[in-house]
Structure 1
Amino acid sequence: MKNATRLGWLTLAALTLATPAWAQQQSADARFKQIYETEWAWRNGQAGISNSGEAQPNNARLDTVDAANQQRRLDYWQKVLADLSTIDVKQLSAEDQVNYAVYRAQVQNLLAVQQFKQWQMPFNSDSAFWSDLGYVLNADDLRTPQDFRRYLDRLGQVPAYFDQQIDNMRDGLARGFTVPRAVLDGRDVSIAAVAELKDPTQTSFYKPFQHIPVSVPADQATAMQDEARKVIAGKVIPAYAKLLTFFRNDYVPKARTTLAAEAMPDGKAWYRQQIVEYTTLDLDPGAVHQVGLEQVAKIHAEMVKTMLESGFKGSFPEFLHFLRTDPQFHAKTPDELLMRSAWVAKQVDGQLAKLFGRLPRQRFAIVPVAPDIAPYYTSGRGGANAYLVNTYDLPSRPLYNVAALTLHESAPGHSLQLALAAEQKGQPAFRREGYISAYGEGWGLYSEYLGNEMGIYKTPYERFGYLTYQMWRACRLVVDTGIHHLGWTRQQAIDYLTDNTALSTREIANEVDRYISWPGQALSYELGYLKILELRRKAEQALGPKFDIRHFHDTLLQIGSVPLPVLEQRIDRFIAEGGPEPDFGCDCAKPAAVKAPL
C-alpha cells in the first residue's frame, strides 16, 4: 500500500511537470475557488455546522458564540490560512490574484479576532449585539408563513444567545479585556428600552407581525401574532432584563479604568493588528500620529482663510463658538433637518452624471435614527438602503455640516458605493458583501471632497462645515493614536477636537467615546482618503488630456472594497492602459448627460 501511494505521488509530480501553464493556472484557480467557497459557506452558516463541515442555512437559528465555538472558529481559520499558503499566487489568473489578496487579508483579520479573543468584548460605544439584534434576526424580509415561523424560532433562541454573550463578557472582565469604564455611562439605555417594557407589542421585534402579508391565511396570521406576543413577553424581554442586571451590577463596576488599547492584555500587538485591519497598512502608531499633525496644520490654514471670507471679525476660537451657538445654524424641528438632508441629496443627484459613468439602480431612503440609540449615535450613517440622520438634540446637529455629511453617507458616498458593489456580477460573494474600512471610509471622505467640484458648498459656512469634517478626520489620526499609544486622557481628546473643529459638544463627546472603545477604526478615513486623492493626482499627471474623471471613479468603484495596496496596483494598471472605461459586468445604469429644460 505504501509503494502504491508513493507511486501515485510520483505520477502526480510527473503530470505536474508536464502540465502546460494554462492548465496549472486553471488548477490553481480551481483550488483557490474551492477554498473560499467552502469557507464562505461555513462562515455564513456558523450556527449550524454539521459534522461533515457542510453549512446549514444560517437563517434557521441565531449564532452560537460560546467559548468552545470560538475555538472551533480559530482552528478552522488557521487551517484555511494554511491551505491558502499552498497556492502559488503567480499561477492564479489576474482576477484571482486580486481575489486572493482581498481574501487572504480577510481571513487573517478574522483569525486575529479569534487569537486576541475580541469576542469577549462584543460591543463598543457605537454598536452592540443587543442593539443589532433586529438585523441579526433578519426581520425585514418576512413574506411567507415559513419566514415568520423561522423568525419566531430565532426569537425563542434569544435567551441562550444572550447567556453566551454574558459568559464571554465575564471572561473578558476576568482578564481585563473590557470596554473602558469611562465610556459606559448611558450605554444601558438601549437595553432598558426593551427590558423595562410591559407590552410586547411595543417592541421592535413585534413590528413584522403588524404587517403580515395578506397572502398569509388569516387564521395562521392570528396564531403567529399570539405566539409572538408570548415569546417576546416570556423570553425576549426577560433576556434583556437579565442582561441589564448583569450590565449594571457586574460589568460597569468591574470594567477596566484604563483607556489605551495598548494597556489591554497583549495590547501593543492588538492595537497594531487593529491598525492593520482598519487601514490595510502595517503602520507604526507614532508615524500615523505625525501624519495627523501635519494634516491638521494644513487644514487649519484653510479654515482660517474661509473664516475670513465669511466676514467674521473675531478670533478662530470665537468663530467656533459662534458656529456652535448661533440659532441660525440649527434646525428648529427634526423634519427641517431631514428635509435639508434631502435637498442636498437631490442637488447631488443632478451632478452625478458629470463624475460617474455607472450608477446603481438601487435607491436609498432618508431615515431618522431610532430614539433608543440616538443619544450616543453618530450624526449620520449610510448604507445601500438607507441614509440615517440623527435628529436627537438638534442644536448638536448644525446645518452647516449637513452637506458634507450627506455626501459622505449617501451619494456619492456609502449608499452609492455599497449599492454598486452589491449589483456587480462575477465577483465572489466575499468581495461583493465584504467591507474594508480604509477603502469604504476613504471613499466616503473623498465623496465630501467631490462636493467642491459639484458646487454643493454654496456659502462660506457650508465650506467651513466641509473643512471641519476634513479636520475632524485628520484629528482622528492624532486622537486615536494619542489615546491608544501615547496615553492621552478622555479630556485631552475632547479638548483637541474642541479646539480644532466646529463639531458640537455632544458630537465631540460621542466621537471620543467611539474612538476609545473602538481602537484603530477612526484611522481608516483619513488614510484611505489621502491614498485615493494621491492616486487621482497620479493618474491626472500621467494621463494628461486622456484622463477622464468618470473612468477614474468607475475604476475605483468597479474593483470594489479592497486593501489600499491592491487599489494602487489597479490604478497603476488603469494608467498603463491609458485610462479606459472599465467593464462593470453588472446591470447598473449608465446616466444620460444632464441637460437644462427647454
Structure 2
Amino acid sequence: MRLALLLASVALVAPATLLAQTAAAIQADANGELKKLFHESDEEQLRLNPLSAIFRGDMRYADRLGEFGTDAYYNASRAAAERDLQRLRAIDRARLTPTNQIAYDVFEFQTLDTIESLKPEMLALTAVRPVDHFFGFHVFYPGFASGKGAAPFKTVQDYENNLKRHRDYVKAIDVAIMRFRQGMASGVVQPKLVVNNVIDQLNLQIDQGVEGSTFYLPVKAFPDGISAADRTRLTAEYAATLKDGILPAYVRLRDFLKNEYLPVAREGHGLVHMKGGDKLYAYLVRNNTTLDMTPEQVHQLGLSEVARIKNDMEAIRTRVGFTGTLSQFFEHLRTDAKFKPKDREGYLQAYYAIGKRVDARIREQFSTIPKTPLEIRYYEPYREKTSAGGSYEPGSPDGKRPGVFYFNAYDLPSRSLNGMETLYLHEGAPGHHFQIALAMENAELPAFMRFGGVTAYSEGWGLYAEQLWKELGMETDPYQRMGGLQDEMLRAMRLVVDTGIHAKGWTRDQAIAYMLGNSSMSRTEATAEVERYIAIPGQALAYKVGQLTISRVKAKAQKELGAKFDPRDFHAQVLMTGALPMAVLEKKIDNWIAARKAA
C-alpha cells in the first residue's frame, strides 16, 4: 500500500528524490516483512514448544508440556516450517540490511534442516526411538521441575502449572511407548546398550519413591507468601501425582523396555547396524557440522588431528621429565592420587577459584561481558553416572536465573584435576556461558537467533574458547596444559570414534580401547563418552569441525588485518549475532575483514 501511494505521487516529486524514497520504502518493506515473519514463526514455535517459552521467562503456556512426539506435533511443526520457507523466499534478500541478510541466511538454513528432519522417511528412523540415556525426557525433565531448574516456583500458580505439566509428562511417557512399538514393527530399534542404560535410569528414579523424588523437592522448600493451607494442599497433590501418575508411568515404561523391547533391540551399537541407519547418519553429519562432509572425510580429519595433538603431548611428557612412553605417561596421569579430587565440595570450590582467575583477564579479549551470573554445580545423583564430564544450562534472558556450569563428580577417583581449567573455559567463561548469554541478552536479534542453536557453532565456540588459555593466563602448569590437550584430543578422537561406530561398525569395546590408547582418560570417562556417541550419533562431530572453522577465519583475519586486528572486535563479530552455520559465519567474517581494511 505504501509503495502504491508513492508511485501515484510520481508527478509531485523530483525524479531523483522519488527514486531514493521508493528504494527506501522497498527496503523498509522487505525488512519489515522479515521481522514480521520472524516474530510470527517464533510465536508458533513457542506454542508448539511451551518449555522453550518457560526457559525464556515467558509463562503464557506454562500450564502445559506440549504434544512432543505425537503425529499432531510433527505435522504442525512441518507445516509451520514449510510456510516459513515459502514466506522467506518471497522476500528480496538484496533489499535487506547487512544484519538482516545474515538473519535471512541463518533462518533459511535452519528451516530447510527442520523440513528435512520432519520428512516422513526421516521420522520413521528417529521418532520411533524417542528415548535414550543422554537426551531422553526422563533425564531432562526431573531437573527442570525440581525447583532448581528453569521452571519457576514463586507463586501458587507456578506450583499448579507444574502439576498440570506433570499430567502431560505422564502422557508423553505413554506416547514414547507407542513410538517404541512402531519401531519394533518396522525393525528400527535402539541398541540393547542404550535400552539397558535407560532402564537403570528409570530404576534410580523409581527407587526414590515419593518423598525422596526429585519431583517432590519443590514442596520441601516453599517460598514465603504461600499460605499454610496452600502448602498442605499442594504437598498432598504433589505426592498423589507422583504416587498415582509419574511413578506408575515410569514402571510402565521400565517394564515395557525390559520385557518387550529389550529382547528385540539390536546388538550392534552403531547406526550402520540399523535399518536405514546409513541414510540417517549421513544426514546427522551434515546437520551437526553444517558442512557437506561425508563420514569418511570426518574420520580422516580426526585421524590427522589425533596425530598432531599426540606430538604436543609428547612435548609435555618431555617437559615434566617423565621418562616412560606416552602410554605410560597416560597411565601415570590416570592413576596417580595427586591428580584426583578429594571430595565434592573441594572440587566445586576449585572451579570457582578458576573462574575468578579467568575474570581477572577476560576483558583483554572481550568487549562485552554477560550480565547473567554463572553458577557452578555438580550433577545430581540420578543422572551423574551417564552424563558427560561437563555441560551448561542457560540462564534467563533477564539475568535473574543464572547460567549453570555442571561438572561430573561421579566416581571421584576416576576424575582428574588436570582438566579443570580447560573444562571451565569450555562450559563457563568464555565458552558456552558467553556464547549463549550474550545472544539471549541481545534484544535486537530475532528470537530464533537469540535462543536457537547450531551445534557446530556452539560446540565449536566452546572448544575454541579452550584455545584461549594462553591469552587468559591459564594452563601455566604443564599438567593443566596437558589437561587442555586432553580435552582437545577428546574432540579429535570423537571424529574418529563416532564415525567408527556409526559408519564403520566399531564395537563399544573397540571405541573405548581407542580412547584409552590415545589419552589419559579413565575407563569410566571413556565408557561414558562412547556410550554417549552410541546414544546420540553425530553430535560429537560438531566440536572439532566448528573450532577448526573459527580458528581458521581468525587466522585469516589476523593475517589480512595485521595491526588493525583486535581480538575483542573479532570475538564480538563471532558472538553478537547468535549461533551461525559455518558458511554464514565465514561470510560474515570476510565482510568484516573487508570493511576493516577499507576503514
Q: TM above 0.5, one fold?
A: yes
- C-alpha displacement of 1:139: 6.1
> What one-letter code is carried by the residue in structure 1 that aligns with 2:23?
A
Question: Hey, what does 2:53 align to over in structure 1?
Answer: none
| Alignment-derived partner of residue 594 in structure 1 | none
Residue 400, structure 1, aligned to residue 418, structure 2: yes
- Separation in 2 of the partners of 1:99 and 1:336? 44
Structure 2 residue corresponding to 1:275, chosen from 272, 282, 285:
285
| Match status 1:203 vs 2:213 | yes
| Mapping of residues 578-589 of structure 1, within 5 Å | 578=596
Bigger Cα displacement from structure 2, 79-88 vs 296-305 = 79-88
Counterpart of 2:376 in 1: which secondary structure?
Answer: strand
Shift of 1:159: 2.1
In 1, are the aligned partners of 2:366 and 2:571 still within 8 Å (CA)?
A: yes
Determine the structure 2 residue equivalent to 1:224.
Answer: 234
- Correspondence for 1:189 among 200, 208, 212: 200
1:178 alignment partner in structure 2? 189
Query: What amino acid is aligned across from residue 578 of structure 1 in structure 2?
Result: R
Report the secondary structure of 1:388's partner residue.
Answer: strand
User: 1:304 maps to what in 2?
Assistant: 314
**Aligned counterpart for 2:360 among listed residues 350, 355, 360:** 350
1:290 and 2:287 are equivalent in the alignment: no
- Percent of residue pairs identical: 33
Shift of 1:262: 4.0
Which string of whole-angstrom CA distances, capped at 9 and with x for unpartnered residues, describes residues 298-356 of structure 1?
Answer: 11111111111110001111111111111111112122222222222221111101111
Query: Following the alignment from structure 1 to structure 2, what is the Cα–Cα distance between the partners of residues 577 and 558?
Result: 17
Contact 1:124-1:514 within 8 A present in 2 as well: no
Residue 161 of structure 2 is matched in structure 1 by: 150
Residue of structure 2 in register with 1:332 after alignment: 342
Aligned length in residues? 563
Greater CA drift, 527-536 or 113-122: 113-122
CA distance in 2, matches of 1:419, 1:76: 27
Residue 476 of structure 1, CA deviation:
1.1
Output the amino acid matched with 1:133: Y
Partner of 2:468: 450
Partner of 1:424: 442
Please give the secondary structure, in 2, of the residue aligned with 1:453: coil
Alignment correspondent of 1:25: 27
Provide the residue aligned with 2:399 in structure 1. none
Query: Residue 139 of structure 1 contacts residue 208 of structure 1 at CA under 8 Å; is this kept in 2?
Result: no
In structure 2, the CA distance between the partners of 1:453 and 1:78, relative to structure 1 (3 Å rule), is: same
Question: Could you tell me which of 76, 81, 99 is aligned with 2:103?
Answer: 99
Q: CA deviation at 1:209?
A: 1.9
Of residues 578, 581, 587 in structure 2, which corresponds to 1:569?
587
Distance, in Å, in 2 between the alignment partners of 1:579 and 1:370 is: 51
User: CA–CA distance in 2 between the matches of 1:139 and 1:25?
Assistant: 39
**Letter of the 2:142 counterpart:** G
Deviation readout 1:212-265 (Å, 9 max, x if unpaired): 222223322322222222222111111111111112222322222233324434
Deviates more, 1:572-581 or 1:258-267: 572-581
Distance 1:527 1:457 in 2: 23
202 and 139 in structure 1: CA distance in 2 versus 1, 3 angstrom threshold: farther
Further displaced range: 92-101 or 119-128: 119-128
Give the match's secondary structure for 2:377: strand
Specify the alignment match of 1:130 in structure 2.
Answer: 138
- Structure 1 residues 338 and 473, CA, compared in 2 at 3 Å: closer, same or farther? same
SS in 1 for 2:391: strand
Task: Quote the Cα distance in structure 2 between the aligned partners of 1:270 and 1:569.
Answer: 29
In the alignment, the residues of structure 1 paired with residue 75 and residue 385 of structure 2 have an alpha-carbon distance, to the nearest angstrom, of 36
Question: Deviations 1:558-597 (Å, cap 9, x if unpaired)?
Answer: 122111111112211221222899xxxxxxxxxxxxxxxx
Q: Deviations over 1:178-206 (max 9, x none)?
A: 332234333322212232343x2221212
1:518 — aligned with what?
Answer: 536
2:346 and 2:461 map into 1 onto residues whose CA distance is 28
Cα distance in 2 for partners of 1:547, 1:136 equals 42
Q: How does 1:78-89 map to 2 (within 5 A)?
A: 78-89=82-93
Judged with a 3 Å threshold, the aligned counterparts in structure 2 of structure 1 residues 111 and 147 are, in CA distance, closer, same or farther, namely: same
Partners in 2 of 1:489 and 1:197 — Cα distance?
34
User: Aligned partners of 1:47 and 1:306: how far apart in 2?
Assistant: 48
Task: Name the SS of the counterpart of 1:186 in structure 2.
Answer: helix
Alignment of 1:21-60 (within 5 A): 21-46=23-48, 57-60=60-63
Aligned to 1:585: none
Query: Relative to structure 2, which stretch is displaced further, 549-558 or 570-579?
Result: 570-579
d(CA) in 1 for partners of 2:22, 2:129: 51
Task: Say which of 244, 263, 266 aligns to 2:276.
Answer: 266
Alpha-carbon distance between aligned partners in 2 of 1:393 and 1:197, rounded to the nearest angstrom: 20
The answer on whether the counterparts of 2:459 and 2:542 sit within 8 Å (CA) in structure 1 is: yes
Give me the TM-score of the superposition, normalised by structure 2. Answer: 0.89
- Amino acid in the other structure paired with 1:340: A
Q: Which residue of 2 aligns with 1:5?
A: none
The residue type paired with residue 127 of structure 2 is W
Distance in 2, Cα, partners of 1:234 & 1:493: 42
Contact 2:133 2:139 in 1 (8 A): no
Opposite residue 412 of structure 1, the aligned amino acid is: P
Query: Contact between 1:403 and 1:462, CA under 8 Å: does it hold in 2?
Result: yes
Instruction: Determine which of 358, 362, 367 is the counterpart of 2:372.
Output: 362
| Cα distance, 1:44 vs structure 2 | 1.4
Provide the secondary structure at the position in 2 that maps to 1:134.
helix
Distance 1:56 1:469, change over 3 A: closer
1:75 counterpart (51, 55, 79): 79
Distance change in 2, residues 1:197/1:292 (3 Å) = closer
1:242 counterpart residue number:
252
Tell me the CA shift for residue 67 of structure 1. 2.7
Q: How far off is 1:135 after superposition? A: 5.6
2:63 alignment partner, SS class: coil
Q: Distance in 2 between matches of 1:297 and 1:283?
A: 21
Take 1:281 and 1:139, find their aligned partners in 2: how far apart are those partners? 33
Look up the equivalent residue of 1:290 and give its one-letter code: Q
Structure 1 stretches of 5 or more lacking a match?
1-7, 49-54, 582-598
RMSD: 2.5
Q: Letter of the 1:482 partner, please give it.
A: G
Contact 2:48 2:73 in 1 (8 A): no
For 1:188, what is the secondary structure of its paired residue?
Answer: helix
Unaligned runs of 5+ residues in structure 2 are 11-18, 51-57, 395-402
Kept in 1: contact 2:143–2:214 (CA 8 A): no
Counterpart for residue 588 of structure 1: none
Distance 1:139 1:409, change over 3 A: closer
Q: 1:56 to 1:328 in 2, by over 3 A?
A: closer
